């Protein structure tokens, strides 16, 4: 498999974590978003949306991070990222989608660039991002079950795979995390695991100083 990725993409970060947790090796192909490589003709032929990540498999490309993770889960079920029990699986997906569907799309590069094109300055764009991060992460924390080590149990799940990259973004843009102490605890526990630590943006082959 090949993973078309960008070191700071939180969506690509999710897939890197999942691959590491499953012990699956994938060749990383850097796509430099800031230089517009996602709009190159050959990449658009692979992913018409011009986004990362793309997980290229023998059967074809998978264009969305959560779809890629569900595929990885299907071909390598252990360790499980989505529980078998229907309600527990739904709860994990609830939390994952609070980030991947509700929060992250409001803060991605296409949105922030469009805000700038509409005349908003950099500080206004940062304020926009911080507003949605504060709201989204606060809701995530409020929805967590009680008495678990990770977001939904005593082992990492799809929820944690989505949470850790979003907290990286939150720190990058200066969000005050003091009201989110439970999330920081979970993040610290996750990053103590090699699968999470080795997926961090700053240790990727295309990372910039």
Q: Tell me, yes or no, whether 106 and 171 share the same domain.
A: yes
Residue 47 in any domain: the answer is yes
Residue 209 in any domain: the answer is no
Q: What pTM was estimated for this model as a whole? A: 0.96
| pLDDT given at position 59 | 97
* Count: domains in the chain: 2
Q: Tell me, yes or no, whether 143 and 167 share the same domain.
A: yes
| pLDDT given at position 63 | 98
Q: Tell me, yes or no, whether 101 and 161 share the same domain.
A: yes
For residue 115 the two structure tokens come to 């805000």
CA angle 136, 128, 139 (to 5 degrees): 10
For residue 123 the two structure tokens come to 């500080």
| pLDDT given at position 143 | 98
| pLDDT given at position 93 | 98
Q: Tell me, yes or no, whether 69 and 124 share the same domain.
A: no
Q: Tell me, yes or no, whether 40 and 99 share the same domain.
A: no
Domain extent for 99: 86-193
Question: 101-119 in b/e burial notation, b at 16+ Cβ within 10 A?
Answer: eebbeebbeebbeebeeee
Q: Tell me, yes or no, whether 162 and 107 share the same domain.
A: yes
Give the pLDDT means over successive 10-residue stretches in the chain (209 positions).
Answer: 97 98 97 95 96 97 98 97 97 98 94 96 97 98 97 97 98 97 98 98 94
Closest alpha carbon to 32 in 43, 20, 45? 43
Closest alpha carbon to 132 in 157, 169, 158? 169
CB burial class (10 A; 0-12, 13-18, 19+) of residue 99?
Answer: buried
Residue 208 in any domain: the answer is no
Instruction: For residues 203 and 177, give the distance between their C-alpha atoms in angstroms, rounded to a whole number.
Output: 23
Q: Tell me, yes or no, whether 98 and 171 share the same domain.
A: yes
Cα separations in angstroms, 37 against 30, 33, 53, 55: 9, 6, 13, 16
Question: Where is 54: in which H helix or E strand?
Answer: strand 54-57
CATH of the domain at 179: 1.20.1050.10
Q: Tell me, yes or no, whether 169 and 95 share the same domain.
A: yes
Q: Tell me, yes or no, whether 46 and 108 share the same domain.
A: no
């Amino acid at each position: 498999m090949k993973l078309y990725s960008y070191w700071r993409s939180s969506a690509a970060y999710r897939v890197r974590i999942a691959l590491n947790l499953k012990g699956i090796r994938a060749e990383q192909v850097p796509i430099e978003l800031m230089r517009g490589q996602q709009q190159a003709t050959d990449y658009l032929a692979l992913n018409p949306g011009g986004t990362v990540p793309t997980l290229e498999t023998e059967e074809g490309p998978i264009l969305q991070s959560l779809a890629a993770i569900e595929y990885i889960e299907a071909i390598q079920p252990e360790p499980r990222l989505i529980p078998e029990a229907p309600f527990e699986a739904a709860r994990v997906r609830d939390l994952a989608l609070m980030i991947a569907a509700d929060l992250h799309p409001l803060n991605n590069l296409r949105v922030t660039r469009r805000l700038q094109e509409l005349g908003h300055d950099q500080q206004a764009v940062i304020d926009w991002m911080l507003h949605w991060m504060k709201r989204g992460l606060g809701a995530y924390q409020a929805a967590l079950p009680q008495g678990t080590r990770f977001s939904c149990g005593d082992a990492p799940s799809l929820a944690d795979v989505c949470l850790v990259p979003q907290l990286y973004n939150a720190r990058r843009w200066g969000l005050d995390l003091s009201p989110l102490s439970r999330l920081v605890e979970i993040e610290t526990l996750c990053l103590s695991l090699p699968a999470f630590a080795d997926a961090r943006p700053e240790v990727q082959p295309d990372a910039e100083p």
